[in-house]
Amino acid sequence: MIKVYNTQSRKKEELHSNNPPRIGMYVCGPTTYNYIHLGNARPLVVFDTIRRYLIYRGFEVTYVQNFTDVDDKIINRAQEENREAHEVSEHYINEYFKDAQALHVREADLHPRVSEHIPEIIEVIAALIDKGHAYVRDGDVFFAVNSFPGYGKLSGRSLEDILAGARVEVDDRKEEPYDFALWKSAKPGEPYWESPWGKGRPGWHIECSAMSMKYLGTTLDIHGGGADLVFPHHENEIAQSEAYSGQPFVRYWLHNGFITVNKEKMSKSLGNFFIVRDILEKYSGNVVRLYLLSTHYRSPLDFDDSKLEEAEKALERIKNSWHLLQEAVRGPGSHDMTQGDEELSRELETLRAEFIMAMDDDFNTALAISHIFGVVRAVNRYLAEAKTRSKPVLEHAMQIFREMIEIIGIVLDAEEETQPAFSRVGDLVSSLVEFRRQARQEKDYRTGDMVRDLLYRQGVILEDTKEGSRIRMEAEPEMGKLMADIMQMRQSLRKDRNFARADQLREVLAERGIVIEDTREGSRWRLVD
């Protein structure tokens, strides 16, 4: 029986779903205004691993992870870059998927975006007003915290504690200082949607309530996220969701611990955070993932390079044993069983049982990984000492080994990455899409069409929507063929005497480490580090 630590009850509880064997799991995703940092990556990896294990144990998991693509941070970034907010958000959603892939994080069953669920959000807010749980002030809508008696049951905070110590937004229009925004009236230059209360956009907390309930019902089995979301985000989610539905919002609240640097919480305000992409330039996704799972998910995880180096060495031990086992399975062997074969088989079964016990106990990946190394030691000893090797035992060992590493999310077969999953080619395609956007914004539609046609020839479908351009890559283009087309396009721009655009394209390529050299014999390109 799987036991999980429920943040709300503050104890371990047996896991039972609303509709077995189905489990609905919602995890708060990133606000898409920047590349993800290591603190963002931890819940992605943790809850991906939990999802993998639940499926392994026979549950049918519906996994929902949102994108917050409407937010003050996105608006501010858009203003800084002189871009539309949806363009900023779309860019960083695409970059998120590259980093997630590099970390072997599987896509969720659903990735809802706030911008695509405004009607559902408005519906929930309107119902809260009708039920007396929310009120309108000058086009803004606030949740009346005093109307929900259970407020504070997740975080353990009383309203007096909140007033005494929490940072509460000062707004004279609020009935109480701790009331929070459900809908924000539009400010000049900001994106907005029509609503019964005027033009505006949703508050942060209501987004997750509306989207999670739409896809998983009024009572979720599991809601996950980082410990920093317990208050106020998840506390507010409970209040508005239960006030809306009259039903318990979540059965089990799961929260991963902070990542610290020198025992201090990693945060952007302190300037001690690390972008995942930068880390992946030095370490593989396997290494980063193993490091993130090397400590129990609820515990703080202190960051330094030495721990990543330890994870790299540990991964090498796993890889070596795995490859030796593969070779042994492909080599000669007996179908008979010796005493040594039987002993290994029993040891492997014990290790698998202990691995399952560790994961059943609130997803203790640190202990589970130690049992993977138990398999490594047992396999290595057998391969070194056995005079004859039993094919059935070797295949049994491979089966158990594969089960464990797949749950942890380590990739050791042919598809194992030697480079980050986000490639130079993929980044170049993204840059071309941005190059096209700028050209179209400046009414240079001919260049825009040239880029679109170029990408189409390379198997990249460009879809222009009201929210911006989206790409669908049927297969990653080959660098040589892609560059041949780009060089031809640049030549056409120069032939049309559009030298400014040709120079801009040259700069785009330089940003991606591609140098264009114009010689008497013609133009050529080369890669630089």
For every residue of 38-100, which 3-state class applies, written as one string?
HHHHHHHHHHHHHHHHHHHCCCEEEEEECEECCCHHHHHHHHHHCCCHHHHHHHHHHHHHHHH
422's tokens: 């986000």
Supply the pTM of this predicted model: 0.78
Q: What percent of the chain has pLDDT over 70?
A: 92
Distance (Å, rounded) from C-alpha 319 to C-alpha 149? 54
For 320-408, which CATH class? Answer: mainly alpha
Q: For residue 182, how many C-alpha atoms fall within 13 Å in the half-sphere facing its CB?
A: 33
Residue-range domain boundaries for the chain: 3-9+20-280, 320-408, 424-527
Return phi, psi of residue 335, to 5°. -100, 0
State the DSSP code for 192. Answer: -
Q: Are 80 and 33 in contact (CB under 8 A)?
A: no
Angle at 447 between CA 87 and CA 510, to 5 degrees: 70
Print burial letters for 31-44: b (CB count within 10 Å at least 16), e (below 16): bbbbbbbbbbbbbb
Query: What was the pLDDT predicted at 45?
Result: 98
Return phi, psi of residue 438, to 5°. -65, -40
| Residue whose entry in the numeric block shows the structure tokens 């007996």 | 334
Pairing of strands 220-226, 22-27: parallel
Return the number of other C-beta atoms located less than 10 Å from residue 318's C-beta.
22
Distance (Å, rounded) from C-alpha 57 to C-alpha 508? 48
Distance (Å, rounded) from C-alpha 363 to C-alpha 112? 26
CATH number of 3-9+20-280: 3.40.50.620
Q: Which amino acid is at 389?
A: R
Q: Are 345 and 396 in contact (CB under 8 A)?
A: yes
Which residues have CB under 8 Å from 327's CB, separation 6+? none
Distance (Å, rounded) from C-alpha 122 to C-alpha 126? 6
Query: What was the pLDDT predicted at 468?
Result: 65
Query: What was the pLDDT predicted at 512?
Result: 80
Q: What is the mean pLDDT of each run of 10 residues along the chain (529 residues)?
A: 97 96 97 93 98 96 96 92 92 94 95 96 98 97 97 93 64 90 94 97 96 98 97 97 98 96 67 83 93 97 90 93 90 85 95 98 98 96 88 94 96 55 68 89 90 87 70 71 89 91 90 81 73
| Residue whose entry in the numeric block shows the structure tokens 């459900």 | 182
